[in-house]
Structure 1
Amino acid sequence: MNGWFLAAGLTSAGVAAIHARAGGRDVVRPLLAGNLSDEPRRVLHAVWHMVTADLILAAAALIGLALSPQPGGNMVAWLLAAHFVAYTAVFLAISLAADWSKPWLRLPQWLLLLPVGALTAVGAL
């Protein structure tokens, strides 16, 4: 068993739960109640749920890799690590581009995503 992948998978599952619960309340509800026209609002709503599915599927893949290593599993692990590091970079770039005080804390999602990428990368070494 690969403990690093297991930790990454469980962390990703936790991130998915936080995303669905807190994000639904703090992001999706205001988005749906906002003044956007119907089409962009529905697209953003769909993208929100796609990210939820993505986080859950990544958690399942990481837990699966942890419990039963597969041929080519390191390739999958490296892709998952890159995936979470890319999510981290997107949140940091958008946060830091905004004219906010303490921008890295206004969108703190990167603090949840980076550990998954790092744990996965360490497990793939």
Structure 2
Amino acid sequence: MNGWLSAAGVLATATALIHITAGGRDVVRPLLASGLDAEPLRTLHAVWHFVSADLLFSGAALIALAADPTPHTPLVLFIAAHFLTYAAVFLVITLRAGWSRPLLRLPQWLLLLPVAVLAGTGAL
């Protein structure tokens, strides 16, 4: 059992569950209640569901890979890069918003970055 990948998988799955519950309440419901035109609104709604599935499948994959003694370095590094990119996007968008205390306004990067680090470490 690769403990690094196991931890990354558990954290990715927890992130997915937080995304689904808190994101549904704090992001999707207000989005759906907004006056945004139908096409962009439904596109953003679909993208939110894509991310939900992506986070869940990534968590499940990392947990499965943790249990397999065969190294799957390219796949694990791909998943790590994926989470690193998600974290970077949140950081860039947050820092460019001009908010006070910006790192806490969109704190998703705090869950995404550790998954990338844990998975990347587990791949080595």
TM superposition score normalised by structure 1: 0.97
Number of residue-to-residue matches in the alignment: 124
Aligned twin of 1:107:
106
Instruction: Write the mapping of 1:28-67 to structure 2, written as runs, cut at 5 A.
Output: 28-67=28-67
Q: Offset of 1:60 from its aligned partner? A: 1.0
* Structure 1: runs of 5+ lacking an equivalent: none
Distance in 2, matches of 1:70 and 1:76, equals 12
1:44-102 per-residue CA deviation (whole Å, 9 max, x = no partner) reads 0000000000000101110111011345x110011111100000000000000001001
Distance in 2, matches of 1:16 and 1:70, equals 26
Distance in 2, matches of 1:88 and 1:6, equals 20
**Secondary structure of 1:41's partner?**
helix
Distance in 1, matches of 2:52 and 2:40, equals 18
* 2:114 counterpart letter in structure 1: P
Aligned identity (percent) is 60
Runs of 4+ in 1 over 4 A off after TM superposition: none
* Structure 2: runs of 5+ lacking an equivalent: none
Q: Offset of 1:104 from its aligned partner? A: 1.1
Aligned twin of 2:84:
85
TM superposition score normalised by structure 2: 0.98
